[in-house]
């Protein structure tokens, strides 16, 4: 049997052949049009930016009649824009299309200049002439199977459409390209293999990736919580930093050592991200990790039925009227869990730092303790002003137990003659907790400050 032949058309010619029915899009077993506006928008943008579209597969009968085997939805979408007055909707993400605009001078000479056109809410008729030409002249590839009848065409339709489309979670993950490699390493860790209650389907459908994204959002960016997976992925892609992934990976390794068969079902696809966020809070208490496992056993056995929230709801009832991804639901669950955990541990959630602030600062900044002590009033007053202008009153960053590392950062800013104001706004928006180990917390903040400063320097260069 001969190999299929290839044929390239201009898009204008290809669509004219469909209009004249020389190419038919209604084979007997062809499915109905199922695309949504977002799919049509992206296809049109792909054409106008001269990007790649996979070949359309055609079947050719002996009488030269062509049928679309694969690419029917693409073809219908292109027809709707070219001849059906379809308007690109406002939801399109990248609506600005660059092109070369033709300029005819008073003397009749023609020049070309770079221009940008916003295709949002535009139909084909509203495009500049240059973009209309670009659309019509786009080269669309086809692959044609010869000597077909209705049986062969049906076989080819079944063959080429025998695939599984991306689901919502999988598609959302494509917006996290900056950190996708790190997340893939995380989901391949022993924790997700042995320490949770996840089905094989969960692992292939993007559920684990979503759990990681939700946990990172919950731990580091809860003020900017996004209910939809796509929005969360886009936010992390723009705002996350490597240190967040480092800390999360370390937490998973610690959990791998303490989660046994009797409590692994707590880490399921519904609540995993909440308990991972809870462990992040636990990790800052400076308590042996085994105590967290003991708390989970107590929670599973009896504690989950021992307390109600402000709405008189038990833990398992909090999401009965709202979405499990609702910000208030998550906040209520986490606060309840943290309160139960601290009671179980007989703690108030705090851990004191050093009693000697001057010595701590001098040691970590390689300064003379007496010199630090001499200017301590200035540092303290400056820190109070900084916090007043940049950090919410209810933020845990303001806790007295965190004063030591914050003061060290203030002294560091004076020593280096660099302002903290802009960085602190960024840091406070991304963090609402701290490491109980104040040296570790200072080093974390200093690293974040340097990374933020370097990033801004590159932008202004």
DSSP per residue over 65-115, as a string? -EEEEE-HHHHHHHHHHHHS-PPPPTT-S--EEEEEEEEE-TTS-EEEEEE
Q: What is the pTM of this model?
A: 0.58
Half-sphere exposure for 377 (CA within 13 Å, toward CB): 1
| Residue partners of 418: CB distance under 8 A and separation at least 6 | 453
Percentage of residues in the chain having pLDDT higher than 90: 56
Distances (CA, A) of 106 to 111, 112, 115: 11, 14, 20
The CA dihedral of 444, 445, 449, 451, to the nearest 10 degrees, is 20
Among 154, 177, 180, 11, smallest CA distance to 70 is for 154
The predicted structure's pLDDT at residue 352: 37
Neighbours of 429 (CB within 10 A): 17
pLDDT of residue 418: 92
In angstroms, rounded to a whole number, what is the distance separating the alpha carbons of residues 218 and 331? 9
Average pLDDT, the chain: 88
8 Å CB contact between 262 and 361 = no
Q: Return the pLDDT at 355.
A: 42
Beta strand extents in 206-352 (DSSP E only): none
- The pLDDT assigned to 202 comes to 86
Q: Quickly tell me which residue has 């056109």 as its tokens.
A: 117
Looking at residue 351, its pLDDT comes to 38
Beta-strand runs (E) in 312-433 = none
Least confident of 23-37, 100-114, 348-362: 348-362
- pLDDT band for 161, please (50, 70, 90 cuts): confident
């Amino acid at each position: 049997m001969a190999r299929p032949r290839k044929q390239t058309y201009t898009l204008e010619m290809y669509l004219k052949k469909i209009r004249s029915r020389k190419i038919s899009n209604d084979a007997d077993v062809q499915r109905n049009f199922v695309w949504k506006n977002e799919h049509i928008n992206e296809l049109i943008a792909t054409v106008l930016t001269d990007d790649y579209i996979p070949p359309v597969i055609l079947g050719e009968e002996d009488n030269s009649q062509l049928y679309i085997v694969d690419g029917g939805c693409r073809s219908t979408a292109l027809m709707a824009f070219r001849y059906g007055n379809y308007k690109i909707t406002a939801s399109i993400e990248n609506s600005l299309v660059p092109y070369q605009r033709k300029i005819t001078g008073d003397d009749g000479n023609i020049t070309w200049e770079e221009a940008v056109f916003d295709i949002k809410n535009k139909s084909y008729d509203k495009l500049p002439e240059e973009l209309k030409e670009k659309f019509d002249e786009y080269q669309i590839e086809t692959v044609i199977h010869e000597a077909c009848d209705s049986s062969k065409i049906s076989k080819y339709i079944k063959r080429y459409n025998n695939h599984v489309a991306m689901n919502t979670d999988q598609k959302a993950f494509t917006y996290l390209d900056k950190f996708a490699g790190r997340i893939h390493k995380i989901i391949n860790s022993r924790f997700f293999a042995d320490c949770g209650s996840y089905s094989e389907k969960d692992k292939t459908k993007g559920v684990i990736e979503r759990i990681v994204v939700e946990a990172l959002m919950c731990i580091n960016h809860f003020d900017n919580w996004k209910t939809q997976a796509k929005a969360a992925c886009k936010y992390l892609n723009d705002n996350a930093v490597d240190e967040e992934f480092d800390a999360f990976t370390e937490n998973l390794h610690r959990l791998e050592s303490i989660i046994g068969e009797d409590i692994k079902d707590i880490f399921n696809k519904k609540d995993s991200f909440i308990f991972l966020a809870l462990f992040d809070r636990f990790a800052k208490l400076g308590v042996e990790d085994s105590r967290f496992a003991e708390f989970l056993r107590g929670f599973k056995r009896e504690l989950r039925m021992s307390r109600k929230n402000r709405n008189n709801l038990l833990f398992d009832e909090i999401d009965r009227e709202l979405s499990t991804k609702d910000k208030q639901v998550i906040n209520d669950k986490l606060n309840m869990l943290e309160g139960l955990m601290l009671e179980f541990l007989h703690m108030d959630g705090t851990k004191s730092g050093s009693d000697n602030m001057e010595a701590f600062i001098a040691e970590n900044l390689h300064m003379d303790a007496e010199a630090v002590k001499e200017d301590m009033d200035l540092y303290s007053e400056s820190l109070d002003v900084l916090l007043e202008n940049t950090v919410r009153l209810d933020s845990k960053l303001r806790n007295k137990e965190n004063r030591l590392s914050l003061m060290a950062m203030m002294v560091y800013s004076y020593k280096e003659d660099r302002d903290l104001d802009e960085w602190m706004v960024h840091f406070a928006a991304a963090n609402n907790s701290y490491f109980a180990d104040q040296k570790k917390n200072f080093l974390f903040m200093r690293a974040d400050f340097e990374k933020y400063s370097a990033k801004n320097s590159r932008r202004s260069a």
